[in-house]
Amino acid sequence: MKHKPLREQVIVITGASSGIGLATARMAAERGARVVLAARSGDVLAKLGEELGGPGRAVSVVADVGRREDVQTIADTAIATFGGFDTWVNVAGLTVYGPLSEITQEDHERLIQTNLWGTVNGSLIAVKHLRRRGGALINVGSIASDLAFPFQGLYATSKHAVKGFTDTLRMELIAEDAPVSVTLIKPASIDTPLPDRARNYMDRRPTLPPPIYPPEEVANAILHAAEHGQRDIIVGGGGKLFVMGKEFAPGAYDQLASAIIALQKRSEPAEHSEGALHAPRDAGEVRGSPPFPVMRSSAYTRATLHPLVTLSAVASLAATAALLLGRKPSPRRRS
């Protein structure tokens, strides 16, 4: 399925005030796209809209994606401002750290409302428009769509559900021959403020387990899908290894529970625990402050985005190696 080049697209991005969403908005604008920015933090969105070109290039909508009427307002604004949209990216998401048994029902429900229902609301409203116009729907899941993470249990639950919903919607659109590509992006640990904005029940500041990748790597994958409609993209080779390991040895992965819990705790005591779960807080930053080094990029992910180029390079190297290995040594000249 062919899509417009980015410079001709209007792209809707939820969760645009922080982390992956913010990185994607900036990268999309740099590549010439017009952007519709949605999040709960109106002050951050207003500044970002001006930064990305102001009226005519960027428009912002204060919205809680857990409320369907707010999501409908995002779509209506995109149509009123730009005549429609070509790509819709559901990025908005939060997490809660702590044992499942200690987390309140209110916090459980709020997380599911944002992570799952926010994606469902955005997808169904976007597809209603894209069925007529054609384009791309991109949902940001996680390697937690395939893995369980103790002390982030409801986050993993929501991302498993996002995968099931996304796969089902894709199949239904294929069955009706709708001109809409559906992509699920599955990042590994990404250097964003997600842990700092999380609801935290632990006695230590939360973090993400290594290896940790830059948010621009996810933004690049999202924008690749906006043009090429790839089905699934895992961002971070380390994440791919974890998923493969769990598939081949699920029992052995379960035994890593204590280690995974330990890797999600920093040495510093927790400063606050409310986070941005129920109200916007500490938005406006792309990156966080992880205690581990951040990878410069993901060679694995970049290879999956351009598989034919990668296969061609590998084949060329293999042919060269075969030629060199098969070449007979030339006889030595006698002096």
Residues annotated as part of the active site: 155
The whole-number pLDDT of residue 316 equals 45
The pLDDT tens digits of the residues spanning 159-217 come to 999 999 999 999 999 999 999 999 999 999 999 999 999 999 999 999 999 999 999 99
Q: Whole-prediction pTM value? A: 0.91
Asked if 160 contacts 112 with a C-beta cutoff of 8 angstroms, the reply is no
3-state secondary structure of 279: coil
What tokens appear for 231 in the block? 């089905």
The pLDDT tens digits of the residues spanning 286-325 come to 999 999 999 998 999 999 998 665 554 444 445 544 554 5
Is the model's pLDDT at 277 over the cut of 70? yes
Q: For the chain, where are the alpha helices, taking DSSP H only?
A: 19-30, 42-51, 68-82, 105-112, 118-133, 153-175, 215-228, 237-248, 250-254, 257-263, 299-305, 307-326
Question: How would CATH label the architecture of 6-297?
Answer: 3-Layer(aba) Sandwich (3.40)
